[in-house]
Amino acid sequence: MAPRLDFSNLWGKDNTRKGTPVVVTMENPNISVVEIDGPDAAFRPVEKSRGKNAKQVTWVLLLKAHRAVGGIAWLASVLWALLGTIKKRLVHRRGVDVETEKLGKGKLLFRVIKAFLVTSLAILAFEVVAYFKGWHYFQNPNLHIPRTSELQGWLHMVYVAWLTFRAGYIAPAIQALSTFCVVLFLIQSADRMILCLGCLWIKYKKIKPTIVGDPFETNDVEKSAGFEYPMVLVQIPMCNEREVYEQSISAVCQIDWPKNCLLIQVLDDSSDESIQCLIQAEVAKWSQKGINIRYRHREVRTGYKAGNLKSAMSCNYIKDCEFVAIFDADFQPNPDFLKQTVPHFKDNPEVGLVQARWAFVNKDENLLTRLQNINLCFHFEVEQQVNGVFLNFFGFNGTAGVWRIKALEESGGWLERTTVEDMDIAVRAHLKGWKFIFLNDVKVLCEVPESYEAYRKQQHRWHSGPMQLFRLCLPAILTSKISAWKKANMILLFFLLRKLILPFYSFTLFCIILPLTMFVPEAELPVWVICYVPVFMSLLNILPAPKSFPFIVPYLLFENTMSVTKFNAMVSGLFQLGSSYEWTVTKKTGRSSESDLLAVAERESKTMNQLQIHRGASESELSELNRLLEQKEAAAAPVKKVNKIYKKELALAFLLLTASVRSLLSAQGVHFYFLLFQGISFLLVGLDLIGEQMS
C-alpha cells in the first residue's frame, strides 16, 4: 500500500474573494477602514506573504535552504559518528596488546559492515526514488532491463507461486504463533498488573512487618545485658574479589551486635594467591581488634558458591549459632542490620528467612546501571514485597538475608545441583512449610554490573538456573504436603509465567514475528500489541523508581534486546545444555557510598598523621610501605579489555533495520518507528556500546 502523501487538504485553501476590498484613508493617517464582504471574511487568515517584496522572499527561501542543508549535514555527521564508533570498537582495541591477526579480522569485519551500510543506503535511495516515481519492474518501459516475454512469464509464474505459498502456508503459521504469543503476553501483563495493585494496597493500608516492643529488653536483673541476643553467624563468600573484599569485611565487622554473640566467617574461594594474602591480612587486622572473625579457604572449589556455603556449615565451631546472615563480597550492611532483621524471628517459630532489600551505590554510573536499577526496584518493591505479604514466599536473593539455621537443616542444606542455590533452598524450605518475611525498609548497599559483558553473564545464570531447578523440583512440588493453590502458584506463576513464558514471548513476538510480518503482510500484528500494552507495562515497571521516568523508552528497547540472552539461557536450562552449568563471578568495581568515602579519607588522614609522628622509622620500612601502597593502587586500578562483538544481536539488528525499511515503504508508521529504534538498540548492544568495559 502506497503512503498517502496528498497534502491538498492542507494546501487547498479557498483564495477566491467575493469582491475587491476597498481601503478608505481618513485624515488621520493612523486610522484605516477595510470594507469586508461578509462575516466569514473577517476571520480569514492574513497572508504572510502579503506586503513582502522579492528581496524578502529570496531571504526566506535562502533561510529554508540553509535549514535543509543543516538537517542533511546533521544526518551525515550522525552517520559518520556511527561509522567512527564502529571502527573504534572493531579496530582500535585500547588498553591491551592484540595480535595482528585479530586486528586484521577487525578491519575486515569493519569493511564488510561499512560496505553493507553503503550498499544498503544506495539500494534504499534507489527504491525510494522508484517507489515515489511509480516505477514497476514489469510495467515501466523506461527501465532499460533486457528481458524477453518468456523471462517475464517465468518470473511472473514464480512470483505468483510464491504469493500463493506465502498466503497458504507461511502466513497461517506466523499468525497462529503470533496469536499464541499475544495470549501469553496478555496473561503476563495481567499478572504484572495484579502485582502492582497489591503493592498499591500495601502502601494504602501501610502493611509491613513490625516488631512488637523491645525484643532485647529483659526484666530479670540477674541476667546479663546481652543474654537475650541470639548467637548469629555472618558468612561472606567471595572468589577473587580484589576490588571489594576490604569494604565488605569492614562493614560486617562494624555491625552493632554483642561480640560474644557474633561470629564472622570469610569464605574465600580465590585462586589468586596474592588476593588470598590480602584477605588474610584484612581478617587478621580485625581479629586483633577483638572481632570474632575466621578465615576459611578451600583447596578444591566444587559447587561454586553453594559448595562454599555447604562446606562452611560443617564446621564444629558454629554449632551454637542459631541464625546465619549471608552477604556477598560487594554488600555493605548498616551497623543496625541485625537489630532490624533478627527480632522478626522472635515469637515466630515458623519464620525461616528474613530478606532485606538491595540499594545500589552506582545506579547513576551509566545508562546500563540506570536500566538495571529500574528492573531491580520493581523486583524488590513489587514482586518480593507483594509475595512476602500475601504468600509468605518469595525467591531468596542469595545475599542480604538472615536464615534460621534449623530451617536450612530441615530443608536439606545447600545443594550444588544448580547455579541458583538461593532459589533452590527457598523452594525446598517453602515445601517444608517455612514462612518468609521481606523487609522493604531495610536496605543494604551493593553494586550492579557496570559492563554489558558482566551483566549478560549474570542474566544468563539467573535465567538458566530456574529452568534447571524447575525440572529437578517439579516431582517434589507435586508430592509435597502444601495446599493445592500454593502448588499452582509455585508451578504456574513462580516458574512458568515469570521464568519461562516472559523471555519466550518477549523474544519470539518482538524479535522474530514482528519483522517477519513486514515481509509476510498476510499475517498482521495489531498496533496495540507493539505500542500501547508495552508502553503501559513499562510505565508500571518504572513506578517504583520515578526518577528514572526519562529512561522509559531506552528501558523498553533494552528489555527487548536482553530477551535474546534470556531466551537462550532459558532454553539451555530447560534442556540441560552445557551453558546452563556455567557459573561466572560477576565482576565488581569497588564503588563506595559517600559516607564510606568520607570514612576512608578520615582513615587515610589518620594514617598520614601516624606516619608523620613516627619519623624515626628506618628508610627501608618507609620504602617498603610505599611499595606496598603502590602495588595496591596498581592492583585496584581497572584495566580496559578487548571489546566484544555479539553476533546474535548484530544479526537481529540487521533483520530489524531491514524490516523497518520494508515497513516504511508500506506506510506502517508505528511499526516503522518501533523496528527502527529496536534495530538501533540491537546494533548498539551487538557492538558493546552500552555500559563500561572493565576487566
Cell numbers found for residue 689:
556500546
**Residue among 505, 510, 504, 513 nearest 568 (CA):** 504
Look at residues 116, 158, 153, 122 and name the one whose alpha carbon lies nearest to residue 138.
153
Which candidate, 279, 273, 272, places its Cα nearest to that of 237?
279
- Say how many residues make up the chain: 695
Count CB neighbours of 246 within 10 A. 20
User: What is the Cα–Cα distance from 660 to 666, expressed in whole angstroms?
Assistant: 10
State the residue for C-alpha cell 544526518: 75
Are 321 and 263 in contact by the 8 Å Cβ rule? The answer is: yes
Query: Residue 475 and residue 490: Cα distance in Å, rounded?
Result: 12
3-class DSSP state of 268: strand
Question: What Rg, from alpha-carbon coordinates, does the chain have?
Answer: 33
Structural contact between residues 491 and 524, judged by C-beta atoms closer than 8 angstroms: no
CA distance 185 to 532: 13
What single-letter DSSP state applies at residue 585?
P
DSSP per-residue string spanning 116-131:
HHHHHHHHHHHHHHHH
Please tell me the distance from the alpha carbon of residue 591 to that of residue 366, in angstroms, as a whole number. 13
Cα–Cα nearest to 573, from 473, 449, 489: 473
- Would you state the cell numbers that stand for residue 72, as one nine-digit string? 542533511
Per 3-state DSSP, what percentage of the chain is helix, strand, and coil (rounded to 5)?
Answer: 60, 10, 30
337 dihedral zone (left: phi>0; alpha: psi -120 to 50; beta):
alpha
Is residue 243 within a helix (H) or strand (E), and if so which, with residue range? Answer: none
Lookup result for grid cell 554449632? 319
Question: Under the phi-then-psi rule, with left for phi > 0, alpha for psi from -120 to 50, and beta for the rest, what region is 51?
Answer: left
Classified as helix, coil or strand, 451 is strand
- Point out the catalytic residue in the list 268, 328, 330, 422: 422
Instruction: Single out the catalytic residue among 269, 330, 424, 688.
Output: 269
Q: What phi, psi does 687 have (nearest 5°)?
A: -90, 5
Of the candidates 576, 457, 567, 456, the one whose C-alpha atom is nearest the C-alpha of residue 506 is: 567
Q: Whole-angstrom Cα distance, residue 312 to residue 283? A: 16
Residue written as cell 507461486? 161
* C-alpha cell, 507: 523474544
Residue 429 three-state SS: helix
Nearest CA-CA partner of 559 in 374, 691, 361, 683: 374
Rounded Cα distance, 432 and 596, in Å: 41
DSSP 221: T
Spatial distance between the Cα atoms of 367 and 357, rounded to a whole number of angstroms: 22
Paired with 323 in beta bridges are 232, 404
- For the record, the C-alpha cell of 650 comes out as 548484530
**Is 336 annotated as catalytic?**
no
For residues 34 and 43, what is the distance between their CA atoms, to the nearest angstrom? Answer: 13
Q: Any catalytic annotation for residue 272? A: no
What residue has cell string 512469464? 153
Q: Calculate helix-pair angle for 669-686, 647-665, nearest 10 degrees.
A: 160
Burial of 391 from C-beta contacts in 10 A (0-12 / 13-18 / 19+): middle
CA distance 73 to 301: 58
Active site residues: 269, 422
